[in-house]
Amino acid sequence: MRAAVAREYGDPEVVRVEDDFPEPALGAGQVRVGVAAAAVNFSDVLVVQNKYQMPAELPFVPGSEYAGTVLEVAPDVTGLRVGQTVLGATFVGAFAEQVVVPSFALTPLPDDVDLSVAAAFGVAHRTAFHALRSFARVRPGDELIVLGAGGGVGLAAVQLGAALGATVTAVASSDEKLAVAREHGATNVINYRAGDLRGALKAALPKGADAVIDPVGGGLSEPALRALRWQGRFVTLGYAAGDIPKIPLNLVLLKGAIVTGFQMRDFGANEPAEFAEGDRQLFQLLADGKANPYLGARYPFEDVAAALRHVADGKAIGKVLLEL
């Protein structure tokens, strides 16, 4: 099968398309999906660089988010049938004509959902929604700060935070990213490269924020934490800036703040009922047209390295799609 393959760890350019990579074998409980489109995530870049929390064994096919059509179902799998359209999330394997995954890692799609949209929905929107709903506990009328607001998770958090009734303050590095964040529901926008983020947040939110969604880390986390009101919630999701911030704990004490981490796979494994209810609400927002990934760039499959490079360099606005 055609597949994008990493035979060594390194920069995005180590990933090359091969025409005769072996098809993955189908085991018990598994489903074979013909991939129609995949979305590129920052974590894919980290996995290729071998900087992710767990290593992928070489050689491997990167790719974690996709949508497609069921091609084959193991005899013990129930609830999925050949020909059904699905979206899925996996650690690696999605940048290929076929991916084989456990049946529980797939979500059946309504017939009328565009597979390009679905391919870009399963990671960023889910991460953002579960983090907003179950960890930041966003309620109508809340003031919400979203860091990395032009990126995949951040832009989804802007859109979904607004859908949950929050007033959203979007923080990003460029006016172009902030314009898209505004189109997706942000009320206040702050370009952190234009000056002092702490001062800008204080001016925008004099009473403080109820919650912060942080997929970036680095130097942005502390000023955002300082912008919380009494007993505000801070959710750390990832460190796209490359640096894991070290926060003075007295800031948490002084604000009575709740600082919490969110990792989608751990949440799904530890709180399946809460996860299922969040998914139900999110897919309803998709069906109602209130949740929709913004596809900021599309690449043909041959240009997989360029797509990874686009994300690695922090240039992605919304989601980056790889079309098979």
Ligand X SMILES: NC(=O)c1ccc[n+]([C@@H]2O[C@H](COP(=O)([O-])OP(=O)(O)OC[C@H]3O[C@@H](n4cnc5c(N)ncnc54)[C@H](OP(=O)(O)O)[C@@H]3O)[C@@H](O)[C@H]2O)c1
Alpha helices in 205-259 (DSSP H): 221-226, 249-255
**Which segment (29-37, 40-48, 111-119, 161-169) binds ligand X by CB under 6 A?**
40-48
- Please state whether 148 falls in left (phi above 0), alpha (psi between -120 and 50) or beta: left
> Helices 152-163 & 175-183, crossing angle to 10 degrees?
30
Tokens of 272: 């399946």
Site track for ligand X across 216-255, x = CB under 6 A: x--------------------xxxxxx-------------
Q: Which of residues 144-163 bind ligand X (CB under 6 A)?
A: 148, 150-154
**DSSP assigned state of 118:** H
CA angle 185, 186, 189 (to 5 degrees): 155
Q: Which is nearer to ligand X, 70 or 214 (CB)?
A: 214
Q: How far is the CB of 174 from ligand X (least distance, A)?
A: 6
CA angle 29, 31, 34 (to 5 degrees): 170
Which residues are CB-contacts of 259 (< 8 A; sequence separation ≥ 6)? 225, 233, 234, 236, 247, 252
**Which segment (13-21, 94-102, 256-264, 271-279) binds ligand X by CB under 6 A?**
256-264
Q: Does 263 bind ligand X (CB under 6 A)?
A: yes
Q: How far is the CB of 94 from ligand X (least distance, A)?
A: 14
Q: Which residue is nearest to ligand X (CB)?
A: 151
Q: Which of residues 53-92 bind ligand X (CB under 6 A)?
A: none
Q: Does 169 bind ligand X (CB under 6 A)?
A: no
Residue 7 burial (CB count, 10 A): 12
Interface pick for ligand X out of 173, 282, 286, 293 (rule CB under 6 A) = 173
Q: Does 127 bind ligand X (CB under 6 A)?
A: yes
Residue 107 burial (CB count, 10 A): 17
Q: How far is the CB of 20 from ligand X (least distance, A)?
A: 31
Query: Which residues contribute to the site for ligand X (CB under 6 A)?
Result: 41-43, 123-124, 127, 148, 150-154, 172-173, 177, 215-216, 237-242, 262-264, 311, 314, 316
